[in-house]
Amino acid sequence: MYQYEYPHFAIATDVALFTLLGDELKLLLIRRRGAPFKGSWALPGGFLRTDDATLEECAARELSEEAGVSGFFLEQLYTFGDQGRDPRERVISVAYYALVPGEGLTLTARTDADAAAWFPADALPELAFDHAQIIQLARQRLASKLDYSTVAFQFLPDEFALSDLQRVYEAVKGEQLDKRNFRKFILGLGLVEPTGNERRGGPSRPAKLYRAKTGHRLEYFR
């Protein structure tokens, strides 16, 4: 047992991990192995341990333990701490959002999860706790960050066509964009450079490939 002189609380981290598969924005959910909300879909997450040096470390550990995912971009989103958000006791959840390129990623459900799966971000099942609210805030943050940061590159491999980048913007914002205007916007920012390679295949002409000058470091452009 753990004893304290004053009331203490349980701290958890929950992570909304997004990727792009095909043209679709996907969110990772796990199915809960235990109570409460046993059998419900939820965000991966769990309690802070005394050996987690930081909150980020807790979030990354849970994502890896419950879904076998690594190599993601991770940023703090918001902390949820209202009374009653967890039926067991007061749990303060420090929520994160995370992004990962979708290609070649495999999920492995473990520990507190008996399944881990990608869901279309626009067609989620009923969710445990206040996780629907966390996801809504994560999508808003992500959509607005596209307008002033290089966050979109976190969905892409090191080398990509401008049409790949456009698909990220379209999927996250949920709207079609004009190809010429989009290219002008991206090239005007001066954040990408051609790698000299092309992608062939399919009936259309070869696509020039680019890389982000800043790599996967997040930059703000206004």
- Count of residues engaged in binding a copy of itself, rule: CB under 8 A: 29
- Residue 1 in the binding site for a copy of itself (CB under 8 A): yes
Strand partners, 149: 220
* Residue with Cβ nearer a copy of itself (85 or 183): 85
Query: Least distance to a copy of itself from the beta carbon of 52, Å?
Result: 8
Least Å from the CB of residue 1 to a copy of itself = 5
Handedness of CA 62, 66, 72, 73 (dihedral sign): negative
Peptide bond into 87 cis (omega under 30): no
Among 23, 35, 50, 204, binds a copy of itself (CB under 8 A): 50
Radius of gyration from C-alpha coordinates of the chain: 19
**End-to-end CA distance of the chain, in Å?**
51
For a copy of itself, the binding residue among 38, 108, 132, 147 (CB under 8 A) is: 147
- C-alpha 102/C-alpha 23 separation (Å) is 11
Closer by beta carbon to a copy of itself, 10 or else 132 = 10
**Of 33 and 90, which has the nearer Cβ to a copy of itself?**
90
The 152-191 contact track toward a copy of itself, x by CB under 8 A, reads ----------------------------------------
Residue 123 CB contacts under 8 Å (≥ 6 apart), including other chains: none
Is 47 a binding residue for a copy of itself by CB under 8 A? The answer is yes
Which amino acid belongs to residue 82?
D
Query: 115: Cβ–Cβ under 8 A, 6 or more apart, which residues?
Result: 30, 31, 109
Stretch that binds a copy of itself, among 25-33, 88-96, 115-123, 155-163 (CB under 8 A): 88-96
Instruction: Read off φ and ψ for residue 200, nearest 5 degrees.
Output: -105, 170
Burial zone of 98 (CB within 10 Å; 0-12 exposed, 13-18 middle, 19+ buried): buried
* CB nearer a copy of itself, residue 21 or residue 218: 218
Q: Rule CB under 8 A: say whether 6 interacts with a copy of itself.
A: yes
- List of residues contacting a copy of itself (CB under 8 A): 1-11, 47-50, 53-55, 76, 78-79, 81-83, 90, 92, 94, 147, 222
